Structures are given as C-alpha cells and as structure tokens.
Amino acid sequence: MTRHSHLPLEPENSATTTTLPANAIPTPSTFNDGLPLPKMMVFDLDYTLWPLWCDTHVSGPIKGSKDNGRTVYDAYGGSYGFYSDVAGILATLKQRNIVIGAASRTSATEVARSMLTHLRVPFTAEDSKETSAKAIGMFDYMEIYPGSKTTHFQRLHKKSGIKYEEMLFFDDESRNKNVEELGVVMHLIRNGVTVAEVDKGVEAWRKRNGRTKKEASG
C-alpha cells in the first residue's frame, strides 16, 4: 500500500503528542452559528487522530501509561497519543448529540482498537478516571479493517441508518475522496484534526448540500 512521505517515528527521539483537556479546547465556531450540522462525523485514525501508522510505527501489545491515558506505550517503549485538539472535538460532538464514527483501512486492526481502548479523553486538567473517558467509548460506530473506504461507509450507513448526505468525513489521504460518490462529504487534512479543520469541514458540508441558511427546527 502506497504511503505518503511521513517520516517514521523513532521512540527514542520523537516528541509524543498528547491531547489537551476538552475544556481547554474552544468549541468550533460553526457549532454556535445556528446553521445546520451533520448528523454524523467520521474520523480516519492514522495521521488524523494520531501522528502515526498503526501498521508500521507501533508494535503490540499496547500498554497503558501512568498519565491516565494521555499516552500509551507499545512493545518497544514507544510513546504515542492523540493530536492536541482531539479531546475537545470528541467531547463537543457528544454534547451536541452528533454521532461519532471511525473509518480506518489499517491492517493493524487489533493495535488500533487497543490504542483506542487504552487512550483516554480528558475532560479537565485533573488526571483521574472520573474526569475522563476511554476513547473507544466515545465512538458510536467503528469500521477498522483493510479495504476501500466506500465499504466502511456503506456499513456505517447500514448500521446507523444515517443518510450519506448527513455524514462528514475527516481523512488525510486524498484517494479516500471516493466516498463522495456515495454522497458523503470528505474534508482532507494534513496535520491532524483540529478545531479549525472541523470548521472548514462543516462549511464544506453545508456548501455541498445547500445547507447554508438557518433551518426550522423539528
């Protein structure tokens, strides 16, 4: 499988990314402007939620760290975590009752799921299980296995009952734009999902679907 030119992570000299607490991340501006939002937002994993490829950078088994799930360790002591805005984005989606999905074509399915199981989403700066949640529990639907992203979305649609036109997808690989043939809107990102990228994605979704004006509730 062709990869774009990210440099391999070396645990001994790479900087580990960690998410900031959710309450330290601003809410996307598009969530407060009174205009329509997608019913479902779906995220790729590698180089979208975290800066690595599960099938080339990480070796299982995955182990938890002593920082309440801000990072995890792999079999060789490599330390890995989410991009900085991830906790705030996931927490905001939950608060707004927007369905959250994951769609990854990684071949390291168990590693990816184990990372989501061990990583936690902190809601405040206080490091405790009472003020955080397992990352895997933030997702309503997950499709994590090799293959075309169109297959992932066909299954997400079947399981959730949500129309493709109500889905917004964040991914770092342009080839996955093929999901737009189904009616999904994909927003291409390069350096991990951020609040600013969420706003850009929502704006693209509104423009593509002609949803740029306030709509009557109900």
Q: Which one, of 74, 67, 104, lies nearest residue 14 by Cα?
A: 74
What is the reported pLDDT for 218?
57
Residue 31 lies in a domain: yes
Residue pointed to by tokens 């645990």? 11
In a domain, 14, yes or no: no
Residue type, 114: S
Decide if pLDDT at 3 tops 80.
no
pLDDT at 128: 67
Any idea which residues carry the catalytic annotation? 44, 46
**CATH code of the domain covering residue 105:** 3.40.50.1000
Structural domain includes residue 2:
no
Domain of 52 in residue numbering reads as 22-209
**Confidence at 216, pLDDT banded by 50, 70, 90:** confident
User: Domain for residue 66, yes or no?
Assistant: yes
When comparing pLDDT for 109 and 6, which is higher?
109
Whether 49 is in a domain gets the answer yes
CA distance 78 to 134: 20
**pLDDT per residue over 73-90, tens digit each?**
999 999 999 999 999 999
Average pLDDT over residues 96-124: 96
Tell whether 92 is covered by a domain.
yes
Domain count of the fold of the chain: 1
- 33 lies in some domain: yes
> Which residue type is seen at 123?
F
Structural tokens at position 132 = 């955080």
Q: Which residues contact 72 (CB under 8 A, 6 or more apart)?
A: 62, 63, 64, 65, 79, 80, 81, 115, 118, 119
The model's confidence at residue 211, banded by pLDDT at 50, 70 and 90, is: very high
**Residue 83 lies inside a defined structural domain of this protein:** yes
Q: What is the pLDDT of residues 134-193, one digit of tens each?
A: 999 999 999 999 999 999 999 999 999 999 999 999 999 999 999 999 999 999 999 899
Q: How far apart are alpha carbons 141 and 70 in whole angstroms?
A: 22
Whole-number Å distance between alpha carbons of 132 and 120: 6
